[in-house]
A and B are shown apart, each in its own frame.
Chain A
Amino acid sequence: MAAVLELATFDPMAPVAARIVDRWDESHDTFSLRLEPPEGKFDFAPGQFNMLYVFGTGEVAISISGPSSEPGVLTHTIRGVGSVTYALRRLRPGDVIGLRGPFGNAWPVDRAEGHDVVVVAGGIGLAPLRPAIYHLLANRERYGRVVLVYGARSPGDLLYTAELQEWRSRFDMDVLVTVDNADREWRGSVGVVTKLIGRAPFDPHNAMALVCGPEIMMRFTGRELVTRGVGESMVYLSTERNMKCAIGVCGHCQYGSKFVCRDGPIFRYDEVGELLEIREV
């Protein structure tokens, strides 16, 4: 009876109010918001996203970037690229936004158990991968080698720099970072992220790859991973399309025969690899 009542009252299209409790800049154009979860807690799985609604401006799909093991903390990392994200950027602690979610499927962290895990992130693509990294590290004994390969536009565009440093200092994780452009102040790699895959220490025949970034980057990364010997069904990509309803009704995020919001956003490479090559999709 209670379940029926819950079904009757739950409306996935109706946002609930969520207060911003903290806000900080991650880079010159990217910031994070920490929200007070409605009813004090918010359960989600790594890789899922929420719809954030700025009253009077609009709604946007944003991945959850904080740890799923702490349901009392709800963090989103956002890059200012459009009217809604610019409006989100202007908000301050104490302001209230609308929240719907969580939506979408999750990174297959359970299926990855027993395997090496290669996390390949490009730009703000690190944000939806971060909850998966937290999970891998919190359950470190369940996985083989854990490698993060991260590419960004420039050193100033790198996200979570303190955490990158912390992860880099761990003995049970390898972190490879590259940027597309740099001056001499930068002491690390320069070049595209795909180039680092060949340097990453993992067994391609026993590895799972979790990939998120611009679609072009994912297309080349997918090819490179498969060329290196990673099985197509072991490569997972988090895709992005313009999402509106987030429940597979409106059709805005149609991706071939799938809806990104309902069937994704995470797909196996053997499911969507060909779609990545089709310009009309």
Chain B
Amino acid sequence: MSDIEQQLREHPFARGFTEEQMARLRECVEGEMAVEEDEFIFRAGGRAERLYLVTDGEVALEIHSPGRPPGIVQTVAGGEVLGWSWFFEPYRWAFDARAITPTRVIAVDGRQMRECADADRDLGFLLLKRMAQVLVDRLQATRLQLLDVYGSRT
């Protein structure tokens, strides 16, 4: 088993995949990327063509506005999924993704992954559930952040 296949199997995103589904995922993998600290993996507005599975390190999702320093919305660490815009139209990144530590990611071809999902509805449903879970986790986390729980009396 190759190193990248081992990492795929160990990544929470692929937990529960059948051998056949794992093989499909493996076919869509473009490769492993080493990202330097402060290097951008993608930028807001760019075409969202890949799914990134973070295997090590940490990536900041940032938003920028004119005249203000960029703000960090959230960080994504090893074992997590970076980006969902590859899965939903119009396939454009909404935020910048900048590595805040030396980071390793597995890059997966988003278009090919979507085609696999269309061709194999079981895989498609599994992917949908995985991405929905990512969305739910991020939505709940964002709501808690918006509540500013530490701003009130503890």
**Interface residue ranges, A against B (CB under 8 Å):** 79, 81-82, 122-125, 151-153, 157, 178, 180-184, 186-192, 194-195, 198-199, 213-214, 216-217, 220, 240
CB distance from B73 to the nearest CB of A (A): 7
Instruction: Name the residue of chain B whose CB is nearest to the CB of A127.
Output: B154
Residues of B within 8 A of A240 (CB): 154
User: Does B72 contact A192, Cβ atoms closer than 8 Å?
Assistant: no
User: Does B145 contact A214, Cβ atoms closer than 8 Å?
Assistant: no
Tell me, yes or no, whether B153 is within 8 Å of chain A by CB.
yes
Query: Which of A124, A181, A187, A188 lies in contact with B154, CB distance below 8 A?
Result: A124
Interface residues of B in 92-134 (CB under 8 A from A): 100-101
User: Does A199 contact B149, Cβ atoms closer than 8 Å?
Assistant: no
Closest 10 CB pairs of A and B: A123-B150, A153-B150, A214-B149, A190-B72, A192-B144, A192-B141, A180-B145, A81-B153, A190-B75, A214-B154
CB distance from A19 to the nearest CB of B (A): 27
Residues of B within 8 A of A125 (CB): 154
Binary interface profile of B, 46-70, with partner A (CB < 8 Å = 1, else 0)? 0000000000001010100000011
Q: List 21 A-B contacts (CB under 8 A).
A: A81-B153, A123-B154, A153-B150, A157-B150, A181-B71, A181-B72, A183-B69, A183-B72, A184-B60, A184-B62, A184-B69, A189-B58, A192-B145, A194-B141, A195-B141, A199-B78, A199-B79, A213-B149, A214-B150, A216-B144, A220-B144
User: Does A183 contact B71, Cβ atoms closer than 8 Å?
Assistant: yes
User: Does B154 contact A182, Cβ atoms closer than 8 Å?
Assistant: no
Residues of B within 8 A of A157 (CB): 150
User: Does A182 contact B72, Cβ atoms closer than 8 Å?
Assistant: yes
Query: Which of B62, B74, B101 lies in contact with A191, CB distance below 8 A?
Result: B74
Tell me, yes or no, whether B90 is within 8 Å of chain A by CB.
no
A216–B70 Cα gap in the complex (Å)?
Answer: 28
Query: Which of A79, A122, A181, A187 lies in contact with B145, CB distance below 8 A?
Result: A181
User: Does B149 contact A217, Cβ atoms closer than 8 Å?
Assistant: yes
A251–B9 Cα gap in the complex (Å)?
Answer: 55
Query: Which of B71, B100, B144 lies in contact with A187, CB distance below 8 A?
Result: B100
Residues of A within 8 A of B151 (CB): 153
CB distance from A137 to the nearest CB of B (A): 24
Residues of A within 8 A of B71 (CB): 181-183
Residues of B within 8 A of A178 (CB): 75
Query: Which of B70, B101, B147 lies in contact with A184, CB distance below 8 A?
Result: B70
A128–B154 Cα gap in the complex (Å)?
Answer: 11
A182–B63 Cα gap in the complex (Å)?
Answer: 11
Query: Which of B70, B100, B149, B153 lies in contact with A122, CB distance below 8 A?
Result: B149
Residues of A within 8 A of B147 (CB): 216
CB distance from B151 to the nearest CB of A (A): 6
A123–B62 Cα gap in the complex (Å)?
Answer: 23
Tell me, yes or no, whether B29 is within 8 Å of chain A by CB.
no
CB distance from B19 to the nearest CB of A (A): 26
Tell me, yes or no, whether B148 is within 8 Å of chain A by CB.
yes
Residues of A within 8 A of B79 (CB): 198-199
Instruction: Name the residue of chain B whose CB is nearest to the CB of A152.
Output: B150
Do A186 and B72 form a contact, CB below 8 Å, given A195-B141, A199-B79? yes
A188–B75 Cα gap in the complex (Å)?
Answer: 8
User: Does B154 contact A213, Cβ atoms closer than 8 Å?
Assistant: yes
CB distance from B78 to the nearest CB of A (A): 8
Residues of A within 8 A of B140 (CB): 220
